[in-house]
Chains A and B, each alone.
Chain A
């Protein structure tokens, strides 16, 4: 895998994953 592809993949996938987990966790906490 080329470096530029790897950088773009991480730069997009990582924030999307973190934000998805963050928002779901926030809702679960507020539910409690």
Chain B
């Protein structure tokens, strides 16, 4: 029986909390990188089409299901989906939602802690007078537990725990007194910081503070329309993926927040508001800040090379502190605080949303207090998150991101779209969506929700399963094709592990064709660097580093050419494949199993209570 009497304080509070959930690192870090990697203007058109065909319809579905479940006292996805689907199987689909939220929160809090540390270092002046390579090295050093730039030992672990403690403390304050207050203060502040940085970036002129190009040159690249991209499946997949991340779909956070609304509140208006606030932050602010500042100071060609070499979230942390310094000490500090502070707010409002579904389950079904449930969630996140902090360099973080933050989201969203439109019936769902709506949703969305959105999600999921090598879709044929290392099948087969596939080995092999350039001492550890060469024998900027201990034997000489698969060091090694397998099989599957068991126990408990009553 539920003793959970949480509710929102105001409608604007719900919308800001929902906007805070949606606005995250994806808006400021992932969107610009995705846009650059997929050809700038070539990306924008598929992105907007996906927003209309996937983003808005799924947001409608999640808000509607959440409010519906909430009217029966259900606040977590297993119960909400079980209520909508009326079959036990749908409850287990809902378990997938709980699993995703907590698994993602485990590594998301780590990125959040980077931003918190970077705010501190911006104020402390750590980045002042740093060169670009020093700034990049700072980020790499930060991932190393033995290094500290603040004097605090295990700085990255301490920052992670501080961040997590802050999340737990806000969760103990509840929806109205915690999450809503943070959103009401944080989201407007984030927008103010964003507008300030976007104006600063877009107005960069060549020659000013060492800038080599106009900030607007970056925007020109982003917004130059290229209609040929409409035929490229790779760009469509990237655009659909971005829409998922940015709107926080397929996780159950939206359902959970919406379940605390009253049955007569307007979900249609709420869904449209949060979707468009998120798009404003992403397209207008997120699309301007990093691109215009980086292009202004590095030039377009250099930024494109950096994106293709480095990619990912790391690029902003490696370059922005250096670029902000070009505006002088005071403005550099101000911009650093604004940028990393903005990221921190975006991160914490999202991680709070990720913790709420599990907290709701514990409170609803086990009658736990806010404080007790928040602390237990904090402990679980700490246990699952610490491996991403400690073994970050071994690919544990990426493994969590792939299985929980990508595959699970798509799978969950695909099933919830089928549940909403086909199992519950589009007419029932449409009526529920329009109940108490103060805006008229165009009828075309009924057709999109029934046919287009589920079909697109199934196609995207199949495409992710069988993606051909190097995203080259012309390889597809009835005779078969080689799958990409990043496809789901490729991941299960362990493709992309390089030459060192064994968990434990006594020989380390080179993963790349290249030459042994140097031995470096990095934070108490010796590393040998292999400079990668392309097919023409030219270095293209990628360097692969391998750790070496005193007891190991180096098999190559400085300057010697090596081929991928050639032995380079003998000794005793634990390869990255071991850590990745542990992350995948032990951490991820265990968490899924724990959630399934908790839900099973709570359903058994419900049944027993009903029996006693009758």
A1 contact set on B, CB distance < 8 A: 216-217, 219-220, 223
Q: Kindly state the separation between the CA atoms of A13 and B44 in the bound complex, as whole angstroms.
A: 11
Cβ contact within 8 Å between B15 and A5: no
Whether A8 contacts B41 in the complex (CB less than 8 A), given A16-B279, A24-B273, A27-B11, comes out as yes
**Which of A4, A17, A23 has a CB less than 8 Å from the CB of B224?**
A4
B277 contact set on A, CB distance < 8 A: 20, 23-24
Interface residues of B in 1-54 (CB under 8 A from A): 10-12, 15, 41, 44, 48
Cβ contact within 8 Å between A13 and B276: no
Map CB proximity to A onto B217-259 as digits: 1 under 8 Å, 0 otherwise. 1011011110000000000000000000000000000000000
Instruction: Check: B169 CB closer than 8 A to any chain A CB.
Output: no
Cβ contact within 8 Å between A26 and B284: no
Whether A13 contacts B224 in the complex (CB less than 8 A), given A5-B41, A20-B277, A26-B438, comes out as no
**Chain B residues within 8 Å of chain A by Cβ, number:** 28
Cβ contact within 8 Å between B438 and A30: yes
Q: Kindly state the separation between the CA atoms of A2 and B216 in the bound complex, as whole angstroms.
A: 10
Cβ contact within 8 Å between A12 and B280: no
Cβ contact within 8 Å between A23 and B283: no
Cβ contact within 8 Å between A16 and B276: yes
Q: List 5 A-B contacts (CB under 8 A).
A: A8-B224, A16-B279, A20-B276, A23-B277, A27-B269
Map CB proximity to B onto A1-21 as digits: 1 under 8 Å, 0 otherwise. 110111011001100110110
Instruction: Check: B157 CB closer than 8 A to any chain A CB.
Output: no
Whether A16 contacts B12 in the complex (CB less than 8 A), given A1-B219, A5-B224, comes out as no
A26 contact set on B, CB distance < 8 A: 269, 273, 438-439
Whether A16 contacts B284 in the complex (CB less than 8 A), given A4-B225, A8-B223, comes out as yes
**Which of A4, A6, A13, A23 has a CB less than 8 Å from the CB of B269?**
A23
Instruction: Check: B272 CB closer than 8 A to any chain A CB.
Output: yes
Query: A interface, by DSSP: helix, strand, loop or mixed?
Result: helix
Closest chain A residue to B279, Cβ basis: A16
Cβ contact within 8 Å between B269 and A20: no
Q: Kindly state the separation between the CA atoms of A6 and B438 in the bound complex, as whole angstroms.
A: 34
Query: B interface, by DSSP: helix, strand, loop or mixed?
Result: helix
**Which of B10, B217, B219, B272 has a CB less than 8 Å from the CB of A23?**
B272
**Which of B15, B44, B219, B283 has a CB less than 8 Å from the CB of A27?**
B15
Q: Kindly state the separation between the CA atoms of A16 and B220 in the bound complex, as whole angstroms.
A: 19
**Chain A residues within 8 Å of chain B by Cβ, number:** 20
Cβ contact within 8 Å between A12 and B12: no
Q: Kindly state the separation between the CA atoms of A24 and B11 in the bound complex, as whole angstroms.
A: 10
Cβ contact within 8 Å between B11 and A30: yes
A19 contact set on B, CB distance < 8 A: 272, 276
Cβ contact within 8 Å between A28 and B223: no
A12 contact set on B, CB distance < 8 A: 44, 48, 283
Cβ contact within 8 Å between B11 and A31: yes
Whether A16 contacts B280 in the complex (CB less than 8 A), given A1-B220, A8-B225, comes out as yes
Cβ contact within 8 Å between A23 and B273: yes
Cβ contact within 8 Å between A13 and B225: no
In the A-B complex, the 3 residue pairs with the closest CB atoms: A23-B273, A5-B223, A9-B223
Closest chain B residue to A19, Cβ basis: B276
Q: Kindly state the separation between the CA atoms of A27 and B438 in the bound complex, as whole angstroms.
A: 10
Map CB proximity to A onto B307-339 as digits: 1 under 8 Å, 0 otherwise. 000000000000000000000000000000000
Q: Kindly state the separation between the CA atoms of A6 and B283 in the bound complex, as whole angstroms.
A: 14
B44 contact set on A, CB distance < 8 A: 8, 12
A6 contact set on B, CB distance < 8 A: 223
A28 contact set on B, CB distance < 8 A: 12
Q: Kindly state the separation between the CA atoms of A23 and B14 in the bound complex, as whole angstroms.
A: 13
Map CB proximity to A onto B548-568 as digits: 1 under 8 Å, 0 otherwise. 000000000000000000000
Shortest CB distance A20–B (Å): 4
Shortest CB distance A10–B (Å): 9
Cβ contact within 8 Å between A20 and B279: yes
**Which of A5, A17, A27 has a CB less than 8 Å from the CB of B280?**
A17
Q: Kindly state the separation between the CA atoms of A20 and B187 in the bound complex, as whole angstroms.
A: 14
Q: Kindly state the separation between the CA atoms of A31 and B15 in the bound complex, as whole angstroms.
A: 11
Shortest CB distance A9–B (Å): 4
Known: A24-B15, A24-B273. 20 other contacts (CB 8 A): A5-B220, A5-B222, A5-B223, A5-B224, A6-B223, A8-B41, A8-B44, A8-B223, A13-B283, A13-B284, A20-B279, A23-B272, A23-B273, A24-B12, A26-B438, A26-B439, A27-B12, A30-B266, A30-B269, A30-B438
Cβ contact within 8 Å between A2 and B12: no
Q: Kindly state the separation between the CA atoms of A24 and B284 in the bound complex, as whole angstroms.
A: 17
